[in-house]
Amino acid sequence: METKVVLITGASAGIGLSAAEQLINKGVKVYAASRRGGKSYKAELGEGELIHVKMDVTKEEEIAVVVAQILKENKRLDAVISNAGNGVAGSIEDTSSEEMLYQFETNFFGAVKVIQACIPVFRAQGYGKIIATSSVAAIVPIPFQAFYSAGKAALMVFMQALALELKPFGIQCCSILPGDTKTEFTAARKYTVASRSADSAYADKMKKSVGKMEKDEQNGVEAKVVAKKIVTQVLKKKMKVSVVPGIDYKLICFLFNRFPVSLRLWVVGLIYG
């Protein structure tokens, strides 16, 4: 059986790195893409190998170089995991056009660019798997992180439409929707310039809301738990279209979609308002 070849973005830490490490221990050859790169190494047992590659998901030329490298070295690509992401906090009013774009460039457009670069490869092969890391925030809107929620919602819907378009070519698509997860993502979260001003009308509420979110994240599930769900989808014959790790978050998403909108927002307001 040939070794599977997988490209994963946002693989320098957190969920991405954990997924990469779990995959190589399953005998997979993983190209772990990130802006800073890293040292490549082989699995202690088996044929698995982790190859760090430098790639900014917002730059199409860098994506093309990495995909070309993978094909040159392997003549195939079995799956792409679009996992790179960032977080920007601040009220909608306190978010500039540049800050909105910064949020969407990585979380949505970056994911789309990487996926677009891999689709022709998968079509030519007649198979391939596309996995994107969305978020429970795609279903449950988070105040003061509206553009994060919106970007993840856009990515989730994009993946559903993509699944319909690519099904005739034997290409499968899956969205992973993690809830609060303990990673370096929390410390890396940025705040909009205006939100840091004492003059902001939202300063106190934003600090309370984001503080609650960050506490939940640091008390959330380990990255390896979410990563295991990703690995399971990569290795199984038929992927699910959507996966929500954790029974509690599955229940939240199930119930949230069945409540009237006014009730949904009232509940979210109690938690993060």
| 43-75 confidence digits (pLDDT tens) | 887 889 999 999 999 999 999 999 999 999 999
Amino acid code (one letter) for 86: N
pLDDT at 214 over 60: yes
Question: What's the average model confidence in pLDDT over 137-151?
Answer: 95
Active-site hit among 148, 182, 200, 229? 148
Round to whole Å and give the CA distance between 23 and 199: 48
- Active-site residue flag, 148: yes
**Model confidence pLDDT, tens digit, residues 227-251:** 999 999 999 999 999 999 999 999 9
Identify the band that residue 263 occupies on the pLDDT scale cut at 50, 70 and 90: very high
CA-wise closest residue to 107 among 49, 158, 167, 168: 158
The catalytic position among 18, 34, 91, 134 is 134
Over residues 84-114, the pLDDT tens digits come to 999 999 999 999 999 999 999 999 999 999 9
* Domains of the chain with bracketed CATH: 5-272 (3.40.50.720)
CB 85 within 8 A of CB 107: yes
Annotated catalytic, 135?
no
What is the spatial distance between Cα 105 and Cα 163, in angstroms, rounded to a whole number?
A: 22
Is pTM beyond 0.85? Reply is yes
Cα separation, 215 vs 272, in Å, equals 12
Active site residue 134: yes
CB atoms within 10 A of CB 16: 26
Set 12, 82, 91, 135: catalytic member: 12
